[in-house]
Homo-oligomer: A and B are copies of this chain.
Amino acid sequence: MNLKETSLTLVNHADTYACAMPDEPRWLTDHERDAWLALAKLMFNLPSALDAQLLRDNHLTLFDYFVLSGLSMAPGRTMRLSDLASHLSCSLSRLSNVVKRLEQRGLLRRTPDPESPRYTVASLTDAGWDLVVAAAPGHVAAVRDYVIDGLTASQIDVLREVACHVTRKISEAPEASTR
Residues of A participating in the B interface, judged by any CB pair closer than 8 Å:
1-3, 5-11, 13, 16-17, 20-21, 25-28, 31-32, 34-36, 38-47, 49, 56, 65-66, 69-70, 72-73, 86-90, 132-134, 136-141, 143-148, 150-151, 153-167, 169-171, 173, 177, 179
Q: Are A36 and B171 in contact (CB under 8 A)?
A: no
In the assembled complex, the CB of A23 is this many whole angstroms from the nearest CB of chain B, namely 9
> How many copies of this protein are present in the complex?
2
**Which residues of B have CB within 8 Å of A150?**
165, 169
A8, B70: Cβ atoms closer than 8 Å = yes
Per the bound structure, the CA–CA distance linking A161 and B35 in Å amounts to 8
User: Can you add 15 more A-B contacts, CB < 8 Å, to A25-B137, A35-B156, A40-B66?
Assistant: A8-B69, A8-B88, A10-B139, A11-B69, A13-B133, A16-B133, A20-B137, A35-B157, A41-B89, A42-B167, A44-B90, A145-B173, A146-B166, A150-B169, A151-B165
**With A87-B3, A87-B8, A158-B162 in contact, do A143 and B35 touch (Cβ < 8 Å)?**
no
Task: State the majority secondary structure of interface residues on A.
Answer: helix
CB of B153 within 8 A of CB of A31, answer: yes
Nearest CB of chain B from residue A161's CB, rounded to whole Å:
7
| Residues of chain B lying within 8 A (CB to CB) of residue A155 | 158, 161-162
Q: Whole-angstrom distance from the CB of A33 to the nearest CB of chain B?
A: 9
Minimum CB–CB distance from A110 to chain B (whole Å) comes to 21
Q: How far is the CA of A60 from the CA of B169 in the complex (A)?
A: 22
